[in-house]
Structure 1
Amino acid sequence: MALRRLRDNAGKTQQQAAEAVGKVRTRIVQLEDGTATASQEDLATLLDFYGITGDERRTVLELGAHARTRQKKRVHVDHLPDSYQRFADLEASASEIDCFETGIIPGLLQSESYLRAILAESEGVWWEQEAVEGRDRLMFREQRQHRILESGDRRILRFVVTEDTLRANLGEPDIMRDQLRHLVALLRSHRDLTIRVLRNDVPGNPSRGRGFWIFGFGDRATPVGFTESPPGPSTYYDEDAVTAAMRRAFYRIWELALSRQESRRLMESILKE
């Protein structure tokens, strides 16, 4: 999945990549879809061809080694440099994304003012004040939104957020109003996107206080689950029993939440308060 992004950034075609390693184009397709693994030599050759160096090169090589030696699916804890890019690669490759968040609007759905406010709350706590990390996170989030929501690629996007998330106090009332208007606009313009709201008074939430993501890839690969904590590390799950449990939890929450239309009406109602 990361290989597709690296190739695109380098301005190379799949055919050119295949010729660089002496393979047929379908082999590159398999590597980029995650249905095959590359040898250490072929992976290094591709990275040379794409001009990849430094931390990103070490990260990809370590991912390749992990994929080749993995005997069975298991939890993977991400301590690698630029681990956020792994999340973006999964997100961009997925044909189906399910997300439950509590207390915060998911990154893909955040308005610019909301995102800036969230980053401002973290600055000086999770990273140094005025550090480049904050600016990088802002740019990265904006790139993710464009990549997923504006690319024209068809994918199913299902989000559930808790009601308290829509009533958060971010210091200035206009920030949350702008975010609510942004959510309503997204629902109007993206037919494959569904946002549902879980009311505060609804019992039976099997993931109370814990958000998570599930990336589905159809027949191309098995699902991958994801959870994170602010200081890190990020944790990925690809064991069938775990991802199946995460799916059960998501669909239970999905059933408990308001419908797409009811959720939109609630957002519009809060806007008028």
Structure 2
Amino acid sequence: MAHARQTFERRQLGLTLRRLREQAGRSQQAAGDVVGKARTRIVELEDGRTRLNPDELLRLLDFYGVAGEERQTVLDLGALARERQKKRAHTDLLPGSFQRFADLEASATEINCYEFGIVPGLLQSLGYVRASIDDGDGIWWESSHASQEQRIRFRLERQAKTLEAPEPKTLRFVITEDALRGAVGSPEVMREQRRHILGLLANNPNLVVQVLRSETYGNPARGSGLTVLLFGGKGSPIGFSTVVYGPSTYFDQEPDTAALLRGFQRIQGLALNPRESARLIRQIDKETDHA
């Protein structure tokens, strides 16, 4: 196991192995013993700062009890992590990409997120989650009740890991006004959603939500969405630009993440401040109550 430069693929592999180890109830010391290395090397592995050879990775997967498609996906991640080429963007084509995005979110110290026309997943109420998944069922994926329930559980678990993290994260969101007035599920679902955001704000001092009014000019990301994840001293920022359909694409090179962060900061400056935003959410709720 050699020391290696931290790359996006190595970070993905490390976070995946950390999740699998925790699910298996194994310690870092026990994992190190399996591959004949010190616990500190497992720490470096899970931080994306070292890599495994194929035999060592197989031994860890056996130790964690990983089988089937998930096992093959981790082996494919391991192969990508051993590549040396430097990429401008990273396209995640492997199964389970949403789980790896959630792993990145869970490991971030700061999340900066802007969405156009939809409430971001981390802020969605249960009714909104269910309705938005219902809207895509049978279109973006094969219709299945079991699959729907699995997607709902995943979204709620993702929220809990991020919003209820032992070490609170700095969370900044900008939501467009039309997302708060939107037609997801039913008027009752939208009312629940607006009140859910207000409840999150009341209970999460590290959460900032700003609303971008519909009549605002100068939005550099109109019609799209973006997320920039920061990791403190554990890695360089990672940027993500949302798409309706297709593979997830990430950016970890400084020119790209700097541009995405500038875009987010410009949108923040155009949006209402947090107090005005909360007032507008309550105002929209009152308007719809009397409609």
TM-score range, shorter chain: over 0.9
Q: Would you say the 8 A contact 1:35–1:221 is kept in 2?
A: no
3-state SS of paired residue (1:35): coil
3-state SS of paired residue (1:37): coil
- Aligned residue in 1 for 2:251: 237
- Aligned residue in 2 for 1:258: 272
Does residue 74 (structure 1) correspond to residue 88 (structure 2)? The answer is yes
| Cα offset, 1:240, TM superposition | 1.8
3-state SS of paired residue (1:255): helix
Cα RMSD between the aligned structures? 1.4
Structure 1: 4+ residue segments shifted above 6 A? none
- Deviations 1:179-229 (Å, cap 9, x if unpaired)? 000000000101111111111111111111110111111121111111232
| Cα offset, 1:74, TM superposition | 2.5
Aligned partners of 2:51 and 2:195: how far apart in 1?
44
| Cα offset, 1:131, TM superposition | 4.9
| Cα offset, 1:153, TM superposition | 2.4
Aligned partners of 1:155 and 1:37: how far apart in 2?
28
Unaligned runs of 5+ in 2: 1-14
- Aligned residue in 1 for 2:31: 17
- Aligned residue in 1 for 2:132: 118
**After alignment, is 129-138 or 108-117 more displaced?**
129-138
**After alignment, is 230-239 or 160-169 more displaced?**
230-239
- Aligned residue in 2 for 1:130: 144
* Identity of matched residues, %: 52
- Aligned residue in 2 for 1:248: 262
- Aligned residue in 1 for 2:208: 194
Does residue 31 (structure 1) correspond to residue 53 (structure 2)? The answer is no
1:146 counterpart (151, 157, 160):
160
Relative contact order (C-alpha < 8 Å, sep 6+): which is higher? 1
Matches within 5 A, 1:47-196: 47-196=61-210
3-state SS of paired residue (1:4): helix
TM-score when scaled to structure 2?
Answer: 0.90
Aligned partners of 2:78 and 2:232: how far apart in 1?
22
Q: Would you say the 8 A contact 1:92–1:148 is kept in 2?
A: yes
**After alignment, is 256-265 or 181-190 more displaced?**
256-265
Aligned partners of 2:22 and 2:204: how far apart in 1?
25
How many equivalent pairs are there? 273
Unaligned runs of 5+ in 1: none
| Cα offset, 1:48, TM superposition | 1.2
- Deviations 1:154-189 (Å, cap 9, x if unpaired)? 211111111110000225211111000000000010
Aligned partners of 1:182 and 1:219: how far apart in 2?
32
3-state SS of paired residue (1:219): helix
Amino acid across the alignment from 2:49: T
Aligned partners of 2:84 and 2:208: how far apart in 1?
35
**After alignment, is 181-190 or 220-229 more displaced?**
220-229
Q: Would you say the 8 A contact 1:96–1:215 is kept in 2?
A: yes
Change (3 A) 1:49 1:204: same
3-state SS of paired residue (2:23): helix
Change (3 A) 1:35 1:260: farther
Amino acid across the alignment from 2:248: S
Amino acid across the alignment from 2:272: L
